[in-house]
A and B are shown apart, each in its own frame.
Chain A
Amino acid sequence: MAKKPDLLPGTLDMLILKTLTRGALHGYGIALSIKRLSDDVLTVEEGSLYPALQRLLLQGWVKGEWKMTDTGRRARFYTLTAAGRKQLGIELSQFEQMITAIGRVLRDAQEA
Chain B
Amino acid sequence: MIGRFLRKLSLLFGRARFESELDEEMAFHRAEAEEAFAADGMTREAARYAATRQFGNAARLRDESHAVVGFRVETVVQDLRFAFRQFRRSPGFAITAIVILALGIGVSVAIFGFVDAALLEPLPYAAPNRLMSVDEASAMFPRSNLSRDDFDDWRRMNHSFTSLDAYGGMGFLLRTASRSEPVPGARVSDGFFSTLGVHMMLGRGFLPGEDQPGKSKIVILTYGTWLKRFGGRRDIVGQPVTLSGADYTVVGVLPREFEFAPRRDSEFWVPLLEKNGCEQRRSCHNLYGVGRLRNGVTMDAARAEMKAIAALLAKQYPGSNQGQGASVIPLAEIIVGPVRPILLTLLCGAGLLLLIACVNVASLILVRSESRRREIAVRGALGATRARLARQFVTEGLLLALLGCAGGVLTGDWLMQMLARLIPKNMLIHLPFLSDVGLNTHVLIFAGVVALLAALLLAATPTLRLTFAGIRDGLGEGDRGAAGTLWRRLGANLVVIELAVAVVLLVGAGLLGKSFYRLLHVDDGFDTTHLATVQVMLPDSSYTKDGQKVALYREINRRLSEIPGVQSVGITTDLPVQCNCDTDWIRIVGKPFHGEHNEVNERDVSPSYLSTLKAGLVRGRLLSDSDDANHPRVTVINEALAQKYFSGEDPIGKMIGDGGFTPNSMRQVVGVIRNVREGALDDQVWPAEYFSIYHDSDTYFAVAVRAARDEKAILPGIVTTLHSIDANLGVYGESTMTEQIESSQTSLIHRFSTWLVGGFAAMALILGVVGLYGVIAYSVSRRTREIGVRMALGAQRSAVYGMVLRQAGRLTGVGLGIGLVSAVGASLLMRKLLFGVAAWDAPTLAGVALVLGAASMVASFLPAQKAASISPTEALRAE
Contacts and interface: CB of A to CB of B under 8 A. Distances in A.
A57 B56 CA distance: 23
A59 interface: yes
A60 B4 contact: yes
A24 interface: no
B68 A55 contact: yes
Interface residues of B, number: 25
Interface string A25-46: 0111001100000000000011
A57 B25 CA distance: 14
A62 B180 CA distance: 90
B39 to A, nearest CB: 12
B770 interface: no
Interface residues of A, number: 20
A58 B6 CA distance: 10
Given A47-B64, A58-B7, A76 B56 contact: no
A8 B192 CA distance: 85
Interface stretch (B27-35, B163-171, B217-225, B235-243): B27-35
B69 interface: yes
A46 B69 contact: no
Contacts of A47: 56, 60-61, 64
B65 A54 contact: yes
B67 A60 contact: no
Contact of A46 (B4, B8, B56, B67): B56
B21 interface: yes
Contacts of A75: 25, 28
Contacts of B8: 58
A58 B32 contact: no
B61 A50 contact: yes
Main secondary structure, interface of A, reads helix
A46 B28 contact: no
Contact of A50 (B7, B25, B32): B25
Contacts of B29: 27-28, 31, 46
Given A51-B67, A58-B69, A28 B32 contact: yes
B33 A28 contact: yes
A108 B28 CA distance: 48
B257 to A, nearest CB: 54
Q: Which of A51, A73, A74 has the most CB of B within 10 A?
A: A51
A76 B31 contact: no
A73 B25 contact: no
Nearest to B18: A54
A75 B69 CA distance: 20
Nearest to B36: A32
Contacts of A31: 29
B28 A54 contact: no
B56 A27 contact: no
B26 A73 contact: no
A26 to B, nearest CB: 7
A5 B25 CA distance: 27
A58 B68 contact: yes
A47 B29 CA distance: 12
Nearest to A56: B68
B68 A46 contact: no
Given A55-B68, A60-B3, A46 B31 contact: no
Contacts of B780: none
B28 A74 contact: yes
B7 A46 contact: no
B826 interface: no
B22 A50 contact: yes
B28 A73 contact: yes
Contacts of A45: 56
Q: Which 8 A-B pairs have the closest CB atoms?
A: A28-B32, A51-B64, A28-B29, A54-B68, A54-B65, A51-B68, A54-B69, A51-B65
Given A28-B32, A59-B4, 4 more contacts: A51-B61, A73-B28, A74-B28, A76-B21
13 contacts: A27-B28, A28-B29, A28-B33, A46-B55, A50-B22, A50-B61, A50-B64, A51-B67, A54-B22, A54-B65, A58-B8, A60-B3, A74-B24
